[in-house]
Amino acid sequence: MFKHTDGKEYSLADYIKLLKEEGNSTAEISALVGKQDDNDDIKETIETVKKELKAIEIQKTVEADEAKSAKDDEFSKAVKEAVKEEMKGLEPVREEVKEIKRFNVLTGKHEDYKKMSESKKAIADCLYHSLNNDMASVKAVQKDVDAEIQKEYKQLGIKTALYSNTGSGAYTVPTEVNDEIAVSRYNQSEMYQRANKQAILYNDKVYPVCADMTFATRTNENTAWADKTPVLENPTIETTEYGGLALMSRRLVEIRSPEIVDMLVAAAGSADAKFIDTTAAFSVTTDADDFNGIIFDSLTGGVTSKALTAISEDDFINLINGLSDNVDDITFIANRKVRMKYGNLDTENGGKVFRDFMSNGQIAPMGYDFIENRKIPSTLTINASSGNTNTRAGGNSDCLVCADLSKLYIATGLMRIDYSEHYKFAEDQVAWKFVNRIGTDVVTDSGNVAATVIELTNS
């Protein structure tokens, strides 16, 4: 240890550093150290002092560099913040995109050309590549589509097999295109709009997610619940495959324009809506259909049949009276002919029961909706109403239905597309087949009536 004039003792390094800070030269520092150093070798003492002084200079240099770097970083950060603040009010520089306009034959206007989305492009590319027998390209496109759908299903927690099979010409439809078909179907079918679609399609069966349930009080914790979970009438619904065809010129397919896919979407949506209005309303197993529609469902109650020429406003009351007390969402359904007959009913005084029908076409018996299903034929025979054998094609009757459509379950599966180059070959057309699955049934508490029907004879 080395004693300083301040009376304190320091290590050699700290002593030399203190002497340096006091302004002593190297020779003076060496002399002061030598006075207290036990080492007799003067040269060694001088070398030790020089090394310590060098270490002090190095330390100072490093500290100076670090301080400068910190200051530079602080300055750089300040510059970036200032630039960022200035950029807030500036519009970003974008690459100029030239707008393409064309005459739209549907609207009669000169409009911006609709750019094809990636999903629609995938469909158009599949059609184009398949017609040119470029199956490698078709598989590449479908691989991307399947991967995207599987990713979406994984996020939703859905596990289902995809239908894509490029070898046979079966294509999975991208979600965007599938959704557009579903929107088109929804917009064109009032039956589908009002039906209960809260169902799961799995292994060709539809499982309703929920149905009626009632609650009750109990006396205390030692008392069993007075009510029981309702027994559902056939909660597992069989499904069947259905589809529709769209014919297209090969020249149109080769264009690969957005309108091609739009045409397919429109054709599929329209066919889908018509099919749902048909099957959900008047399919009947006695005519070899796969299931019964709401008119012929086993849970549909009947009101005594009558002639179409003898209809009256009392028919609405009689149909409602046939429903169970727990039904609170009522809709009347008929084809156009029957709806117009009821809309034009006369009162006993010669006025109109529905006074606004001729001006706005609206009919709301007791405030309930009356929708039109143009697919219901005039060739029905309804056992629940007339006691005769059910048929949708061999009779001569119309009908009026009253139903809680929230009890009518309709579910559709994952759509796929098949194509054929051979059908309509002579006309240079390609046939595109849309394939899906459907299940529908009335699901309610056992013994309850969710729909009623009256057969209206035409003879």
Kindly give, in sequence order, each residue whose CB lies less than 8 Å from that of residue 37, ignoring residues fewer than 6 positions away.
45
Is 97 a domain residue? Answer: no
Is 111 a domain residue? Answer: no
**What confidence tens digit (pLDDT) does each residue in 390-422 have?**
999 999 999 999 999 988 888 877 777 776 667
Going from the C-alpha of 223 to that of each of 53, 213, 215, 216, 220, the distances in angstroms are 94, 20, 15, 12, 5
Domain identity same for 72 and 153:
no
Question: Is the confidence at residue 366, as pLDDT, over 70?
Answer: yes
HSE-up (13 A, CA, CB side) for residue 333: 29
Range of the domain at 25: 2-83
Cβ count within 10 A of residue 314: 8
Domain identity same for 127 and 79:
no
Mean pLDDT score, 231-250? 73
Kindly give, in sequence order, each residue whose CB lies less than 8 Å from that of residue 128, ignoring residues fewer than 6 positions away.
253, 254, 256
HSE-up (13 A, CA, CB side) for residue 247: 8
Is 122 a domain residue? Answer: yes
Domain identity same for 140 and 206:
yes
Count of domains for the chain: 2
Domain identity same for 309 and 352:
yes
- Give the span between the Cα atoms of 153 and 175, in whole angstroms: 10
Alpha-helical segments (H) within 207-257: 250-255
Domain identity same for 37 and 181:
no
- Three-state secondary-structure class, residue 95: coil
Is 104 a domain residue? Answer: no
- Token reading at 139: 């598989």
Domain identity same for 66 and 192:
no
Among 261, 263, 207, which residue's Cα sits nearest to residue 236?
A: 207
CATH number for the domain harbouring residue 424: 3.90.1690
Is 89 a domain residue? Answer: no
Mean pLDDT score, 18-24? 76
For residue 423, the model assigns a pLDDT of 73
Strands 199-202 and 2-3: unpaired
| Total count of residues recorded for the chain | 459
Cβ count within 10 A of residue 429: 19
Cβ count within 10 A of residue 293: 24
Most confidently predicted of 173-177, 213-217, 254-258, 259-263: 259-263
- Token reading at 175: 């979600």
Last-in-domain residue among 40, 65, 83: 83
Last-in-domain residue among 30, 64, 83: 83
- Give the span between the Cα atoms of 169 and 89, in whole angstroms: 54
For residue 161, the model assigns a pLDDT of 47
Burial class (CB in 10 A: 0-12, 13-18, 19+), 400: buried
Domain identity same for 72 and 218:
no
Share above pLDDT 90 across residues of the chain, in percent, rounded to a whole number: 22
Question: Is the confidence at residue 31, as pLDDT, over 90?
Answer: no
Most confidently predicted of 79-83, 128-132, 159-163, 282-286: 282-286
**What confidence tens digit (pLDDT) does each residue in 291-347 have?**
899 999 988 999 999 999 999 999 999 999 999 987 878 999 999 999 999 999 999
Domain identity same for 61 and 130:
no
- Token reading at 159: 């596990």
Question: Is the confidence at residue 192, as pLDDT, over 70?
Answer: yes
Going from the C-alpha of 300 to that of each of 76, 312, 351, 379, 407, the distances in angstroms are 79, 21, 33, 19, 11
- Token reading at 381: 């025979």
Phi, psi dihedral angles at 131 (to 5 degrees): -65, -25
Question: Is the confidence at residue 368, as pLDDT, over 60?
Answer: yes
Going from the C-alpha of 21 to that of each of 10, 66, 311, the distances in angstroms are 14, 21, 117
Domain identity same for 66 and 155:
no
- Give the span between the Cα atoms of 328 and 407, in whole angstroms: 11
Last-in-domain residue among 83, 101, 133: 83
- CA-only gyration radius of the chain, Å: 42
Is 71 a domain residue? Answer: yes
Is 293 a domain residue? Answer: yes
- Give the span between the Cα atoms of 363 and 352, in whole angstroms: 12
pLDDT interval class at 83 (50, 70, 90)? low
Is 99 a domain residue? Answer: no
- Of 54-68, 161-175, 422-436, minimum mean pLDDT range: 161-175
Domain identity same for 136 and 64:
no
- Give the span between the Cα atoms of 108 and 262, in whole angstroms: 18
Question: What rounded mean pLDDT belongs to the chain?
Answer: 77
Going from the C-alpha of 128 to that of each of 124, 125, 251, 362, the distances in angstroms are 6, 5, 10, 47
More confident residue, 329 or 26: 329
For residue 163, the model assigns a pLDDT of 46
Domain identity same for 45 and 122:
no
Domain identity same for 128 and 64:
no
Mean pLDDT score, 369-395? 93
Kindly give the interhelix angle for 42-87 and 12-21, rounded to the nearest 10 degrees: 70
- Token reading at 317: 């009351």
